[in-house]
Structures are given as C-alpha cells and as structure tokens.
A and B are shown apart, each in its own frame.
Chain A
Amino acid sequence: MSAVLFFIAAIGAITGAMGVVLMRNPFYSVLALVGHLIALAALFLLLRAEFVAAAQVVVYAGAVMVLYVFVVAYVGGAEEPDTGFPASAGSLRVLGPLFAFALAIELCIAMLGTALKGISGDGAGYVFGFGTPKEIGRLFLTTYLFPFELASLLLLVAAIGAVVLARRRRGLEGPDEAFTQRLLTPRSLLTGTMAESTGVRSGFGTEPDRDSDSEAERPNAGAAADRGQGGW
C-alpha cells in the first residue's frame, strides 16, 4: 500500500516539476508548482513528517503561491516566443539540460555507491510521537531556539526589504525640475504658511505662478515654502 502511494506521489511530484520547467506561460508554471508541492506533502506524510507536510501545504501551497499568482497577474505572464525547447538564445539553452542530465547521473552513481547501508532499508523504527507538532515544537524551543529566533528576524528583514523594493518611489527618474526651482526661488518674509499651502490664503508677495499649481502638487509647494522660510 505504501509503495503504491509512494509511486503515485513521486510521479505526481516529478510531473509537476517537469510542468514548471516546460510550460510556456508562467501562470501555468505556478499551477504546476502547486500540484508538485501537494504531491511532495504526500511524500512527507509517507516519511511520517506530519508537521512538515502540513506546513508545506499551508505555507507553501497556500501563502507563497498566492504571492506568486498575484505577481504573475501584475507583471502579466507574457508567453515566451515558441521556438522549440532549445531556444535560439545562447548555448546555455542547449548545455543546461545536458548539465542537468549529467548531474542526475552523477547523483544516482553517488547513491548506488554509498556506504550508508540504511538507505536500502525502511529507516529507523517508528517511535510514537515522531514528527508531531509536539516534538517539533519541543525541539524548536529547546535545542534549536537560536535558529528559531534567527528565522523570525530573517522574516522581518525580508518583509521590510520587499516593501522597500516594491514601493512606488520618486527620485529614480532624476530630479524634479519644477520642485527644485520652487525650492531655490527666494521668497519674502511672512509667506509659506499652512493657510497658503492649503489654498485658503494666497501668497503674500510671491510669484504669480504659485496659484496655478495643480491640486496634487500643493502639499509639496507648502512644504517647500515652509522650508524656504525656515532655512533661508
């Protein structure tokens, strides 16, 4: 029974992996990866790693794949031009699969010639409680407490990094000429108040083009005016 389940899950996992690599549309690649992850969770269950299997389905197939689907939908999964699998761009397209095939043969040789006698057996005897959340939690909070805390720090850094990377930023396109000009224009005293920036009061002795500022630029203009009064 476990052999049948193993072969079903293994074939599912390998088919999903092939699907990820071979699909032209990135959206279908993501869907193939979801199938691959679920098959892999079945393999984890066969290895009696219950908590890892559950985390795999919840965290990976649930959360991370949703992130992928959103980004693929945002970027627009443009289909690549179909030029056959060894695409014309570079010798890497031809050498890559050859390299992977050589690596597979190498790994199989390493596994056949291993001195580990255990890998032809079923593994250690099953102890009750192996791989349960209780056991994993106990290890995380005793032996592996430091890696656990480090992982939380890493997650925080990654979250902040992603927000910083993906935010809509200004200034990358070069300096805003109008804004710089407004900053450098000398202004008379008693101008640049909050009332002026919100448009309640027009500027006192300012240049006339201030009133023609668009609604969106008004807060910037107010900030510039405030800085102009305070700084210079």
Chain B
Amino acid sequence: MAIGWYLVVSAMIFCIGAAGVLTRPNPLVILLCLELMLNAANLALVAFSRLWGGADGQIFALIVMVVAACEVTVGLGLIVAIYRRQMAVNVDELNELRG
C-alpha cells in the first residue's frame, strides 16, 4: 500500500479525536480522544519512518507513547481527585478558574 493511504487514515483519526475533544463534556472521554489524536500522530510518524527507511520515526513514536502514558496517569489522578471532592465530573461545570 502506498504510504499516502496511511497518512489519510492518520488524518481521519486525528480529526475524529479533535471533534471528540471539542464536543464531549466528560473529562474521561476527553482523555480518550486525546489518546486518539496522539495515536494518529504515531501512525504518521511510523509511516514516515517506513517512507525514509530509518527507524528514527519509530523511536519518536515510542517516546510519544511514554508521554501519553504520563499524561493519562496525571489526568486520571486529577479526575479521581475531582470525584473525591464530590464535584461534577463535567468540564462544562468545572469553570471556577475561567477568567
């Protein structure tokens, strides 16, 4: 398969994830959609790595996975802390810091 097809799939997944981040009110689902966007970027990186024949893109993809794991850990910790304080787990209502 041509590399372009992989990039098209990556672009579609990224846009679906962006739509999810913008529309869903639940922070858990927003984190899931962020994962989607990071994975789309990973797919593009691995596709480019195949295009050039070097493994550097795959290294980059692995580092992105590490960063995504860290982001998930801290984000889920925040959600648990929000839930413990009996606040609504809803980004539309968590607006006390809005200027």
A interface residues, Cβ below 8 angstroms from B: 2-3, 6, 10, 13-14, 17-18, 20-21, 26, 29-30, 33, 36-37, 40, 43-44, 46-49, 51-52, 55-56, 59-60, 63-64, 67-68, 71-72, 74-75, 77-78, 80, 85, 87, 89-90, 92-93, 95-97, 99-101, 103-104, 107-108, 111, 116, 118-125, 127, 130-131, 135-136, 139-140, 143-144, 147, 151, 154-155, 157-159, 161-166, 168, 172
Complex Cα distance, B31 from A15, in Å, reads 18
Main secondary structure of the interface of B (DSSP, over half): helix
Question: What does the 1/0 interface line of B1-27 toward A look like (CB < 8 Å)?
Answer: 111111111011111111111111110
What's the nearest-Cβ distance from chain A to residue B9, in Å?
Answer: 5
Measured between beta carbons, the chain B residues less than 8 angstroms from A2 are 1
Measured between beta carbons, the chain A residues less than 8 angstroms from B71 are 158
- Chain B interface residue count, CB cutoff 8 Å, equals 70
Measured between beta carbons, the chain B residues less than 8 angstroms from A44 are 43, 46
Measured between beta carbons, the chain B residues less than 8 angstroms from A116 are 51
With A64-B72, A74-B80 given, name 15 new contacts (CB 8 A). A13-B9, A14-B9, A33-B36, A44-B43, A46-B1, A49-B61, A52-B46, A71-B76, A85-B23, A95-B22, A103-B15, A123-B52, A131-B55, A165-B74, A165-B77
What's the nearest-Cβ distance from chain A to residue B74, in Å?
Answer: 5
Q: Which 4 A-B pairs have the closest CB atoms?
A: A124-B53, A96-B22, A158-B70, A100-B19
Complex Cα distance, B32 from A101, in Å, reads 19
Given A29-B32, A44-B46, CB of A89 within 8 Å of CB of B18: no
Measured between beta carbons, the chain B residues less than 8 angstroms from A157 are 70
B15 touches A119 (CB 8 A): no
The residue among B52, B77, B84 with the most chain A CB atoms within 10 A of its own CB is B77
Given A17-B13, A75-B80, A93-B23, CB of A158 within 8 Å of CB of B69: yes
Whether a CB of chain A sits under 8 angstroms from the CB of B96 is: no
Question: What does the 1/0 interface line of B49-69 toward A look like (CB < 8 Å)?
Answer: 111110110110111011111
Which residue of A47, A103, A154, A163 contacts B66 across the interface (Cβ within 8 Å)?
A: A154
Complex Cα distance, B65 from A147, in Å, reads 13
Given A18-B16, A68-B72, A158-B70, CB of A120 within 8 Å of CB of B4: yes
In the complex formed, the residue of A with least CB distance to B61 is: A52
Complex Cα distance, B50 from A125, in Å, reads 9
Complex Cα distance, B69 from A225, in Å, reads 45
- What are 11 A-B contacts defined by CB distance under 8 Å? A13-B13, A20-B36, A63-B69, A77-B28, A119-B2, A124-B50, A124-B51, A127-B53, A136-B62, A155-B69, A166-B84
Which residue of A14, A123, A139, A164 contacts B56 across the interface (Cβ within 8 Å)?
A: A139
What's the nearest-Cβ distance from chain A to residue B13, in Å?
Answer: 5
Complex Cα distance, B25 from A33, in Å, reads 18
